[in-house]
Structure 1
């Protein structure tokens, strides 16, 4: 097994809706212990206050982590400072597809699938705690309150996240960038993690919600 030292970790640092559900399934199949997603999401206050120590402390609870706050900007930088030998996985997809996926997903969850959510929808959404989704939006996107899903700003945020990571990890052997929809990406991941491939390609989940 790849993880030989308690300080070795695998961090999934791609933004939400880039195939992270499929990636999580594969990592579990490989035998990795995943961090508790609900507990990770409750670190939103630590993220907002730049209390990286709380997030790093949470990393002691498992081997592999994905989703919030690991998918958010700059978390990866502080994880690398603490775990420079960890494996980092960036998942990506076409920007237009990503934006369409995240707005469609949020529309179904928070606005009855009828429109892109507005501020009041997120404030009233009862996920984790009432207002959690609004807090998350403010912590990460910082878009105008009367245009919270501003396409230009969302895509710029997404692009900057990926570009920062790709630049930082360039030529580092403990990093891989994957588009899970591309042929051969599953085998690349298996090789990267030194695991025996169990499938030919990624098993795609959440087809309706596009991961």
Structure 2
């Protein structure tokens, strides 16, 4: 019988946290703050290949759904005590990186980007269409409200984040402007601290070398694993 059937979810989380806490205590935190569909899953895999303890994504998603819009960032700070590297929501959404920077001085931040905002928009709409749209179409507001990822209706956070309407939840101009403003805000925030921020396009030939140079480590790998390509 699977251990997942024997040990309740919350207990598994506590056991994992107890195992990880001493392993990451005192170690520098690394936050991957690029928007979703900029290579964050590939970045996560690269860190795991190098032996880093990466935060449990599903648990972060649960916390995000419950606390992000309420501004309860203290919940995310507590979550970060049990791993060294973090990606996806809530770390890929506005304001979280500022809280993490204050809570964990000396951390490093990686902003992953696509070749263009339009490429990012096309990727995220295709991906969400596969997940929640009818026959792969861009999801409607009703699709998002009825989707059961994490919790029923959690994908509707797309609308809440971007400020789009139910009539056009993936309004192209709104999402592209949001993506551009988010990236520029991060670059501006770290403009006097270049050693703390790496802006990284994973498709560039020297991207992996930039990655390990930024971390100050050596690696037997020469390229990123490619995950969730859309």
Q: Is TM (by shorter chain) over 0.5? A: yes
1:21 Cα shift?
Answer: 1.1
Provide the rounded CA distance (Å) in 2 between the counterparts of 1:139 and 1:206.
24
1:166 to 180, 187, 211: 187
The answer for the alignment partner of 2:165 in structure 1 is 144
More helix by share: 2
1:144 Cα shift?
Answer: 1.1
The answer for the alignment partner of 2:59 in structure 1 is 39
Q: How does 1:1-211 map to 2 (within 5 A)?
A: 6=26, 8-43=28-63, 44-93=65-114, 94-134=116-156, 136-172=157-193, 173-207=195-229, 209=230
| SS of match in other structure, 1:48 | coil
Q: Can you list the C-alpha shifts for 1:143-191, whole angstroms capped at 9, x where unaligned?
A: 1111100000001111111000001111411211100000101011111
Is the alpha carbon distance of 1:171 and 1:185 closer, same or farther for their aligned partners in structure 2, counting shifts above 3 Å?
Answer: farther
Query: Which is higher, the Rg of structure 1 or of structure 2?
Result: 2
| RMSD of aligned alpha carbons | 1.6
Bigger RCO of structures 1 and 2 (CA < 8 A, at least 6 apart): 1
Provide the rounded CA distance (Å) in 1 between the counterparts of 2:130 and 2:123.
11
With normalisation by structure 2, the TM-score equals 0.85
Provide the rounded CA distance (Å) in 2 between the counterparts of 1:77 and 1:30.
26
Verify the 8 A CA contact 2:126 2:136 in the aligned structure 1: no
Verify the 8 A CA contact 1:30 1:195 in the aligned structure 2: no
Verify the 8 A CA contact 1:7 1:83 in the aligned structure 2: no
Verify the 8 A CA contact 1:87 1:175 in the aligned structure 2: yes
Provide the rounded CA distance (Å) in 2 between the counterparts of 1:113 and 1:34.
33
With normalisation by structure 1, the TM-score equals 0.92
1:112 Cα shift?
Answer: 3.5
Verify the 8 A CA contact 1:187 1:197 in the aligned structure 2: no
Provide the rounded CA distance (Å) in 1 between the counterparts of 2:162 and 2:54.
26
Q: Can you list the C-alpha shifts for 1:40-74, whole angstroms capped at 9, x where unaligned?
A: 00122211001111111111121110001000011
Q: Which runs of 5+ in 2 are unaligned?
A: 1-22
Aligned residues: 205
Is the alpha carbon distance of 1:5 and 1:170 closer, same or farther for their aligned partners in structure 2, counting shifts above 3 Å?
Answer: farther
Is the alpha carbon distance of 1:137 and 1:4 closer, same or farther for their aligned partners in structure 2, counting shifts above 3 Å?
Answer: closer
